[in-house]
């Protein structure tokens, strides 16, 4: 009786910790949003920030807050959430704890499409090449999925990861060849390739927002099914799930999220790798809690990196992708040394 009565208490305590963790993640995200709007090459007092948001008067502070910082902050929230959830999905899909949006060729596909649009079609504005980036990312993943099984045989996480690495390497070679022979495309592409939230603007946000929102909703709908998939295909079927449908849905959501985020902000690395790992230590292995926590924590990490780059790089700024790489590379090395990656 004592043991039986203790089990519900353990579950309640675990749920309480998870809710507290989500609440704290939400508070941190709110602080990061305020810092992103108020801090930069020239700090803006919080009173002026509030005045700029509620009563736009065309002053320099109002222009900095509403026309420059607010769009990049809004984009950072959505892009960060997309990268965090996409990392959860890809790690669940491949059963690879080191998986992130670049592992299935998504970033390489987006980059190849962008340099093609720049070099061959003369497309230079982010609002113009965002569609090419999404098409390239989706096409690259479709090729990876076909090479990794394509539903005709039992999908292997290792086959998907290897196929993603091979396709990514081939597309990266194509991208390098194009920018090597086209200096104009190289000058334009390098600003996208480093990964940044600056100079994107609201038109880019509105173009990718439907894909990011749709991907987040799709990911939320398959959380319970992903939990059963982790038990194995046979157990998943016995619990009423179709492993092929679950994997296909997870892949579609991951592509929509990572392609939209990559198209808008460039290939920002390590956010989709680091945040899901931290989430597992805090909220456990339940995919529903992992995705919820990552959707709050990843934007915080991205916005903090963006603000750090602006503050440290005054009067200019360090690109967001550079800051996340400086933080994420040591973590990646630690994970490679300490974790066993399933084959």
What's the rounded Cα separation, in Å, for the pair 290 and 276?
A: 7
In a domain, 17, yes or no: no
Task: Provide the strand spans (E) within the chain.
Answer: none
What is the chain's pLDDT, residue by residue, as a tens digit (343 residues)? 333 433 333 344 477 888 898 999 999 999 999 998 888 777 777 877 887 777 777 777 777 788 788 888 999 999 999 999 998 988 887 777 777 777 778 888 988 998 898 888 888 777 777 788 878 888 888 888 788 765 544 556 667 778 888 898 999 899 889 888 887 778 777 777 778 888 777 888 888 888 899 999 999 988 888 887 776 666 767 766 777 788 888 888 888 888 888 888 888 878 888 888 888 888 888 888 999 999 999 999 999 999 988 888 777 778 888 888 887 777 667 766 665 544 4
Q: Which of 232, 113, 135, 126 is nearest to 188 (CA)?
A: 126
Cα–Cα–Cα angle for 310, 213, 164, rounded to 5 degrees: 80
213-243: b (≥16 Cβ within 10 Å) or e: bebbebbeebbebbbbbeeebeebeeeebeb
In a domain, 35, yes or no: no
Domain extent at residue 301: 72-338
Cα–Cα–Cα angle for 326, 332, 337, rounded to 5 degrees: 135
CATH number at residue 213: 1.10.3470.10
Contact indicator for 197, 76 with CB cutoff of 8 Å: yes
In a domain, 42, yes or no: no
Cα–Cα–Cα angle for 142, 145, 151, rounded to 5 degrees: 120
In a domain, 4, yes or no: no
What's the rounded Cα separation, in Å, for the pair 41 and 150?
A: 49
In a domain, 34, yes or no: no
In a domain, 115, yes or no: yes
If one counts the domains in the chain, the total is: 1
In a domain, 295, yes or no: yes
In a domain, 278, yes or no: yes
What's the rounded Cα separation, in Å, for the pair 91 and 274?
A: 11
């Amino acid at each position: 009786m004592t043991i039986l009565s203790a089990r519900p208490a353990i579950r309640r305590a675990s749920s309480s910790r998870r809710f507290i963790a989500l609440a704290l993640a939400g508070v941190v995200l709110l602080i990061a949003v305020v810092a992103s709007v108020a801090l930069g090459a020239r700090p803006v007092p919080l009173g002026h920030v509030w005045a700029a948001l509620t009563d736009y008067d065309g002053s320099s502070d109002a222009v900095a807050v509403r026309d420059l910082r607010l769009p990049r902050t809004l984009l950072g929230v959505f892009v960060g959430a997309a990268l965090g959830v996409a990392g959860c999905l890809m790690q669940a899909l491949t059963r690879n704890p080191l998986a992130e949006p670049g592992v299935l060729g998504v970033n390489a596909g987006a980059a190849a499409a962008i340099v093609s649009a720049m070099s061959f079609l003369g497309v230079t504005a982010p609002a113009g090449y965002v569609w090419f980036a999404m098409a390239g990312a989706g096409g690259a993943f479709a090729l990876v999925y076909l090479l990794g099984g394509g539903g005709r045989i039992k999908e292997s996480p290792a086959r998907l990861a290897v196929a993603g690495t091979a396709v990514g390497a081939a597309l990266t070679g194509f991208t390098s060849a194009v920018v090597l022979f086209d200096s104009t495309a190289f000058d334009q592409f390098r600003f996208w390739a480093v990964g940044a939230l600056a100079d994107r603007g609201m038109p880019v946000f509105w173009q990718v927002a439907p894909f990011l929102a749709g991907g987040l909703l799709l990911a939320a709908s398959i959380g319970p099914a992903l939990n059963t998939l982790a038990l194995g295909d046979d157990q998943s079927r016995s619990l009423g799930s179709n492993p092929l449908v679950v994997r296909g849905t997870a892949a579609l959501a991951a592509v929509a999220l990572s392609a939209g985020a990559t198209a808008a902000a460039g290939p920002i690395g390590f956010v989709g790798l680091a945040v899901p790992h931290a989430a597992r230590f805090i909220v456990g292995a339940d995919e529903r809690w992992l995705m919820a926590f990552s959707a709050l924590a990843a934007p915080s990490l991205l916005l903090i990196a963006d603000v750090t780059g602006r503050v440290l790089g005054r009067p200019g700024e360090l690109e967001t992708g550079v800051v996340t790489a400086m933080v994420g590379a040591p973590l990646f090395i630690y994970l490679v040394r300490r974790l066993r990656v399933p084959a």
